[in-house]
Amino acid sequence: MIVKWLFAIHFICLTICAVLLFSLKRSEHLRWGLGYMIVWVTILSSLVLFFLINKQFKHWLLLKIYCAVFFVASAGLGVFLQGLGMDTLLLPPKYCSDGDYLIRSRIEDIPINEYNIVLLKNEGIIEKLIATYYYPTADSIKVYEDKGAVVIYCSDESFYTDSLGCIEPLYNHPANENDIKALAKDLKVDFNNKSFQF
């Protein structure tokens, strides 16, 4: 009986993994690491099933072969892709947050630029991708939705020489140039006008 339940759980999780793979954009996640938990349950359930299946089950040999091949292929591919820098098995680290917004490290297919963070927004159970920025890390952020800007602060010496923060666009929508310049001046942070659409 437990084997049937485990197979049901395995195939339900496998279906959810397929839906998430094709419905979420790169760098988007389910909140609280739920997507990664589902991946781990899918992989590990095949391993447990391999040891629980015995000769009393119809087609037991095919079931054992399926479980063994699935576990070796999925775990091996997951470890390989994680080694290449993709976030297949482990949630990327969270640096900081401001309300519903948070900054995570961005995991790329092939890590070319180590200075890569993403701004995500919690929407329901999904961390939705808002923007990508090219910084090594972030200690804190402050989001100004009304102005369409986010200020990223970092104490890393490689971040900036004059300032410990920089103002960046929140979305790819046009912003008011005077508002952004005034905000940057008030906060004493760097302002890169190439990032904004005025």
pLDDT band at 16 (very low <50, low <70, confident <90, very high): very high
- Of 78 and 179, the structure prediction assigns the larger pLDDT to 78
Average pLDDT on 97-113 reads: 73
What is the residue extent of each domain of the chain? 2-84, 94-191
Query: Does residue 111 contact residue 85 with C-beta atoms inside 8 Å?
Result: yes
Q: What is the pLDDT of residue 130?
A: 85
Partners of 122 in the beta sheet?
127
pLDDT band at 156 (very low <50, low <70, confident <90, very high): low
Q: What is the pLDDT of residue 76?
A: 93
The residues near 41 (Cβ < 8 Å, ≥ 6 apart) are: 9, 10, 13
Q: What is the pLDDT of residue 112?
A: 55
Backbone angles phi, psi at 105, to 5 degrees: -70, 140
Q: What is the DSSP string of the chain?
A: -HHHHHHHHHHHHHHHHHHHHHHSPTT-EEGGGHHHHHHHHHHHHHHHHHHH--TTSTTHHHHHHHHHHHHHHHHHHHHHHHHHT--SSSPPPEEEEETTEEEEEPP-SS---S--EEEEEEETTEEEEEEEE--S--SEEEEEGGGTEEEEE---TTT-SS-SEEEEESSSS---HHHHHHHHHHHT-EE-TTSS--
Query: Does residue 189 contact residue 163 with C-beta atoms inside 8 Å?
Result: yes
Average pLDDT on 38-42 reads: 94
- Of 112 and 30, the structure prediction assigns the larger pLDDT to 30
pLDDT band at 38 (very low <50, low <70, confident <90, very high): very high
| β-strand pairing of 190-191 with 165-169 | parallel
pLDDT band at 65 (very low <50, low <70, confident <90, very high): very high
Q: What is the pLDDT of residue 73?
A: 95
- Of 97 and 115, the structure prediction assigns the larger pLDDT to 97
